[in-house]
Amino acid sequence: MAGNSQSALERYKARREGNLLDEVKKPRPQRSSGSSSSLRQWLLLLLLLPTLGFFGWRAYSAVPGPPLQLTYEVDLTHAPTGLLTVTLIAEGKLPPQLSLEFPPGVFGDSGSRLQLRRPSAHSLKDNGEMGRSLAVDQTSSGWKLGTRGLKRVGFIYRVDLTETHTQETDIRKYISTPVSGGVRFAGFEVFLEPANASVDDITVTVHNPHDLQVLVPWPALVKNQNTNNGPLSDAHLGYGQGYNPGVASRSQNASLANGLKTGGPGAAAPVPTNLLYHPHNLADLNNALVVCGNIRTLSSQSRDCVIQFATDRDWLFSNADALELVRRIARTEMGFFGSAPTEQITVLVSANEVRAAEGFDVYGVHTGSSILVMLDPETTWGVLEEQAASVIAHEMFHGWLGEAITQLEPETMWFTEGATTWYSARMLNAAGIWSPHHARQVLTDRLNRDFVMSPFRGKTSIAAAATDVMGDAEMVRYSYAGGVAACMALDQWLAEQSGLERPLDEVLRHLYRNSNDDDFTRQSLEAAIFTVTGVDSHAWMENYVYGVKSLPPVERLI
């Protein structure tokens, strides 16, 4: 635009100069220099206005608009065949092109076995009807939609979970998978998110036309607030429908379920045909674990927290015994911190499908308040107590250290994983599930195998090794065991310096009580230690955790 304006100005000057040469011979009236200068200024202004307007419009368009509102509609119609249909509705001041991508992480890369098929997009009218089709272009990390000038769009895609690879050694690839009668999926593998727009309100609805049993993140369902039309309904999974109406008898449960289906008395929310929950943010959305199908559940109450055991298969142990194990662990960890991090703690136990020689029998992952534990189908009660219990205790402890005390910075991963591993053994001992001898033996064996004898010891700092928890398996084992050793040594050193008994216990409680949306950093850890003990731990950390100086021996393991 600037070049064209300058050319026009030059042409104007040349034309004026030629006319003046022709008019030299003619007598003409005198004109003041002020009039000529004023005319040139007006012409310059007229030529510059389009340019200024263009760049002003570009600058205005680049200013981020108000945050978008997102609604994800998950259709379970074909879930028993391993297929999900997801509709993402985005509302607000949309950018000219809306980029939808997987959240960052190993599960959203091109090597994922999950397949998203048949994407399409439409503008949406005020009444929800589809408008014109929108251009959809696939990118290396998702899709781009042409949304210029629109305020409401819908993007529909199908997620195919049917492709399985039982020889895949990365068990994390089995989190989203078909299960008996339905599917299990993690939010970060299914929900695309805007990459070039902020978000302030998220709703997830689960359309369940076949009344599948559904296990959803807490708080999943809209609680019944209409006390005039029936009993309050709790939002935890209960009698076969994804809710617990809070009434005593089985017949009353069935009666209220029918009322909810038909919209009769007591129907304050569309349950179970449509489940509803509101993630706090995109991280909460992608932290969700949703399961539907042939699910068996048992639940217990501890203080204000629902403790729940769920599974999709039969085991060599009873579900009642498994729930009691989960309840004892949860009560002990809640007692340690003083409260539960969420209103519900759910442990879902499923079969480990890895069949490769390098596979392992027990694997656990926490997704928000849900804990998924994958076991060998032949797991006995004895193995559950002696081995799987530590995985359950570990992942449950992350509800406090890792979730409530939010772990995002890699520099403190050594503490999050090391302390969680150490405290899970201590919690099992305190709960009476592990004997003191067994807890010490487990810790000693792990420390000797993965830390004392590790080739990385003395060469790679514990903190540096822990920054890549998805990396080399031997390095990961060294970082976890090193984190345990560092936490035990730090607790012993702080006790010597402060005279306090188990000072690291109080540091954890202080971090939990004062947790907020800020990331858990090295600075916040050192500040908490100083607040609780009055000891400056920076130099100790620099030597033993962030450096390679050998840790001092510890006298007490649990």
Domain boundary pick from 365, 396, 427: 396
Write the burial class of residue 197 (CB in 10 Å: 0-12 exposed, 13-18 middle, 19+ buried): buried
Whether 238 is covered by a domain: the verdict is no
Residue 79: which of 183, 185, 165 has the closest Cα? 183
Is the confidence at residue 477, as pLDDT, over 50?
yes
Q: Tell me, what's the pLDDT at 218? A: 58
Whether 165 is covered by a domain: the verdict is yes
Is the same domain home to 422 and 545? yes
Percent of the chain scored above 90 by pLDDT?
46
Per-residue confidence band for 55, with pLDDT thresholds at 50, 70 and 90:
low
Is the same domain home to 425 and 374? no
C-alpha radius of gyration, the chain, whole number: 31
Q: Tell me, what's the pLDDT at 286? A: 83
CB atoms within 10 A of CB 237: 27
Is the same domain home to 126 and 8? no
| pLDDT averaged over every residue in the chain | 79
Is the same domain home to 59 and 112? no
Residue 194: which of 101, 259, 312 has the closest Cα? 101
Domain boundary pick from 229, 254, 288: 288
Q: Which residue did the predictor score with more confidence, 530 or 267?
A: 530
Whether 249 is covered by a domain: the verdict is no
In this predicted model, what pLDDT tens digit does every residue of 327-366 receive, in sequence order?
Answer: 999 999 999 999 998 888 889 999 987 765 665 678 888 8
Q: Tell me, what's the pLDDT at 200? A: 87
Q: Tell me, what's the pLDDT at 208? A: 87
How do strand 370-375 and strand 401-402 relate by DSSP bridges?
unpaired
Instruction: From residue 93, give the alpha-carbon distance in Å to each of 162, 441, 474, 545.
Output: 37, 59, 48, 47
In this predicted model, what pLDDT tens digit does every residue of 60-94 receive, in sequence order?
Answer: 444 556 789 999 999 999 999 999 999 999 999 89
Question: Number of structural domains, the chain?
Answer: 4
In this predicted model, what pLDDT tens digit does every residue of 250-292 receive, in sequence order?
Answer: 333 333 233 333 333 333 333 345 677 888 888 888 888 889 9
Q: Is the peptide bond before 455 cis (omega within 30 degrees of 0)?
A: no
Whether 228 is covered by a domain: the verdict is no
Q: Tell me, what's the pLDDT at 427? A: 97
Whether 247 is covered by a domain: the verdict is no
Per-residue confidence band for 57, with pLDDT thresholds at 50, 70 and 90:
very low
Whether 248 is covered by a domain: the verdict is no
Q: Tell me, what's the pLDDT at 36? A: 60
Q: Which residue did the predictor score with more confidence, 85 or 239?
A: 85
Per-residue confidence band for 12, with pLDDT thresholds at 50, 70 and 90:
very low
Q: Tell me, what's the pLDDT at 459? A: 94
Whether 347 is covered by a domain: the verdict is yes
Q: Which residue did the predictor score with more confidence, 303 or 406?
A: 406
For residues 284-304, give the mean pLDDT: 86
Q: Tell me, what's the pLDDT at 166? A: 57
Q: Which residue did the predictor score with more confidence, 265 or 57?
A: 57
Q: Tell me, what's the pLDDT at 355? A: 62
**Angular region, 181: left φ>0, alpha ψ -120 to 50, beta rest:** left
For residues 409-426, give the mean pLDDT: 95
In sequence order, what are the residues at sequence separation of 6 or more whose Cβ sits closer than 8 angstroms to the Cβ of residue 276?
203, 204, 205, 206, 220, 221, 222, 269, 270
Is the confidence at residue 303, as pLDDT, over 50?
yes
Instruction: Look up the domain containing 480 and give its range.
Output: 400-558
Residue 208: which of 353, 79, 45 has the closest Cα? 79
Q: Tell me, what's the pLDDT at 257? A: 32
Is the confidence at residue 454, as pLDDT, over 50?
yes
Is the same domain home to 368 and 413? no
Per-residue confidence band for 3, with pLDDT thresholds at 50, 70 and 90:
very low
Domain boundary pick from 232, 254, 288: 288
Give the C-alpha separation, 458 to 445, whole Å. 20
Is the confidence at residue 100, as pLDDT, over 50?
yes
Helix (H) or strand (E) holding 204: strand 199-207
Is the confidence at residue 240, as pLDDT, over 70?
no
Q: Tell me, what's the pLDDT at 155? A: 94
- Considering 7-11, 102-106, 397-401, the range whose residues carry the highest mean pLDDT is 397-401
Q: Which residue did the predictor score with more confidence, 411 or 29?
A: 411
Whether 28 is covered by a domain: the verdict is no
Is the confidence at residue 385, as pLDDT, over 50?
yes
CATH number of 338's domain: 1.10.390.10
Is the confidence at residue 443, as pLDDT, over 90?
yes
Q: Which residue did the predictor score with more confidence, 28 or 408?
A: 408
Is the confidence at residue 487, as pLDDT, over 60?
yes
Q: Tell me, what's the pLDDT at 223? A: 39
Look up residue 236 and give its two tokens: 């935890």
Q: Tell me, what's the pLDDT at 91? A: 93
CATH number of 281's domain: 2.60.40.3650
Is the same domain home to 360 and 418? no
Per-residue confidence band for 51, with pLDDT thresholds at 50, 70 and 90:
low
Give the C-alpha separation, 316 to 314, whole Å. 7
- Considering 163-172, 305-314, 510-519, the range whose residues carry the highest mean pLDDT is 305-314
Q: Residue for token digits 């109450």?
A: 301
